[in-house]
Structure 1
Amino acid sequence: MALKLYYDLMSQPSRSLYILLKYANCNFESKLLALRKGEHFGEEFTAINRLQKVPVIDHNGFVLTESVAIIKYLSRENLIPDSIYPKASKQAARVEEFLEWHHAGLRLHCAMFFRVKFLIPSIVGQPEEPKNIDGYLRRMEAALKEFDTKWLGRGNNFITGNTVTVADLFAACEVEQPKMAGYNPCEKFENINVWLKKVRDHFNPYYDEAHEVLNKIGKNKFKMASKV
């Protein structure tokens, strides 16, 4: 097997790469790690990635970490279609412009809200602190509003124009993450709602496959919230 993907589908960038490789019909070996069990801290995986994070690829012995670096590499190696990651300079620059923004502009705030609202309470077995969550919620909603208006609200079907790219896939996986904490961005931001349906349809059935566990957790969270 030429390509190995180390991942956990609870991880946003892991889902992005999993979906992307499936969509590209790229034959890869799945190396699933359970982050919730701390498998990424084990000696075997630490020998592969000293940073102890996923996703990671091993391509014929070449090990690479960091999801954006990985997709750029996959593009140069012609393992993903040009339509998803364009090789033309200006089109590629538009995709990379968003990917540069999304780390601090979108991912940080969605991930931190998920962390304090769902992940930490689940690990320590204690309920979340509402006062602590309020600040993270405000910052996440400010980021979602900026994404909704300044990236999606420009008359295009997708982030960089009228063609879906990896920028849309990475953003979609980030926007999905707060659902596990009982927050659905689609209910408050109309541009996100319309756009996300298009992204999901484009990458299905792999998109739904990658989000199966997330959607189950999200549904349970919404049921619990409705009973409160």
Structure 2
Amino acid sequence: GPSNSEGAGKVSLLKKVPALKDGDFTLAECTAILLYLSRKYNTPDHWYPSDIQKRARVDEYLSWHHANIRANAPKTMWIKVLIPLFTGQPLPSEKLQEVMEGLSTSLKQFEERFLQDKAFIIGSEISLADLVAIVELMQPVGVGCDIFEDRPRLREWRRRVEDAVGKELFFQAHEMILNIKELSNIQIDPQLKEQLAPVLMKMLK
């Protein structure tokens, strides 16, 4: 997301995090960073397959993801934790309900269109598509909205992703997300609140 820090501006021309600096080369946007790293370090083929049709399936999901899962899942975190933290006021429950309805529609499409009866999004092996999906879908879990509880197919997919990545690494990677509610106890600089509150509210529109 957007960042007002001076450091982020030096690494990313878009002033967004995450951002990557590799020597003199800088890159923003998490998907672009993942693809760059997978190509540079010659990662195992299943992450971003050399087979043109399998790779196209990863690309297809990544293109769909941005306007669907990513458009809804992170908003649960903004509504329940970040916006109240920076504005000092909770948002109406109707706002969360609206976001959860949109997310539910996206999850139905995710299960029916992408997961189907497969182990992972593009087939029998985990790929970057699964990593991009899971990191967004753990955000509602971190604020108490367990989207996996009543969705057996989605729950089993999450279990397979955990096993493929390794449970210890999986929970280490999501530690900040799963403990996001602890942020409500910290003190925020008033000037930073003033800067970020309108930005966060705008992101909900």
Distance, in Å, in 2 between the alignment partners of 1:42 and 1:189 is: 39
Q: 1:59 aligns with which of 22, 28, 32?
A: 22
TM-score (norm 2): 0.80
Match of 2:176 in 1: 213
Q: Give the secondary structure class of the aligned counterpart of 2:21.
A: strand
Match of 2:11 in 1: 48
Q: Give the secondary structure class of the aligned counterpart of 1:128.
A: coil
Q: How does 1:90-129 map to 2 (within 5 A)?
A: 90-129=53-92
Deviation at 1:43, TM superposition (A): 2.1
Q: 1:183 aligns with which of 127, 145, 163?
A: 145
Distance, in Å, in 1 between the alignment partners of 2:105 and 2:86 is: 27
Deviation at 1:180, TM superposition (A): 2.4
Contact 2:141 2:178 in 1 (8 A): yes
Q: Deviations over 1:164-192 (max 9, x none)?
A: 10111111111101112210111121111
Q: Which consecutive unaligned segments of at least 5 residues does structure 1 have?
A: 1-10, 12-34, 222-228
Contact 1:41 1:52 in 2 (8 A): yes
Q: Which consecutive unaligned segments of at least 5 residues does structure 2 have?
A: 185-205
Distance, in Å, in 2 between the alignment partners of 1:181 and 1:42 is: 26
Distance, in Å, in 2 between the alignment partners of 1:185 and 1:115 is: 16
- Of stretches 174-183 and 109-118 in structure 1, the one that deviates more from structure 2 is 109-118
Contact 1:118 1:180 in 2 (8 A): no
Match of 1:192 in 2: 154
Distance, in Å, in 1 between the alignment partners of 2:21 and 2:39 is: 15
Q: 2:100 aligns with which of 132, 137, 149?
A: 137
Deviation at 1:150, TM superposition (A): 2.2
Distance, in Å, in 2 between the alignment partners of 1:119 and 1:111 is: 10
Size of the aligned set, in residue pairs, is 183
Deviation at 1:217, TM superposition (A): 4.2
Structure 1 pair 118–44 and aligned structure 2 pair: CA distance change class (3 A)? closer
Match of 1:77 in 2: 40
Q: Deviations over 1:44-93 (max 9, x none)?
A: 32122132211111122111111222222223323432221112211111
Distance, in Å, in 2 between the alignment partners of 1:182 and 1:128 is: 16
Give the share of equivalent positions with the same residue, in percent.
32
Match of 2:133 in 1: 171
Alignment RMSD (CA, Å): 2.3
Q: Give the secondary structure class of the aligned counterpart of 2:148.
A: helix
The structure with higher relative contact order (CA 8 Å, sep 6+) is 1
Deviation at 1:99, TM superposition (A): 0.6
- Aligned AA (2:53): K
Deviation at 1:203, TM superposition (A): 0.9
Distance, in Å, in 1 between the alignment partners of 2:109 and 2:80 is: 22
TM-score (norm 1): 0.73
- Point out 4+ residue stretches in structure 1 off by more than 4 angstroms: none
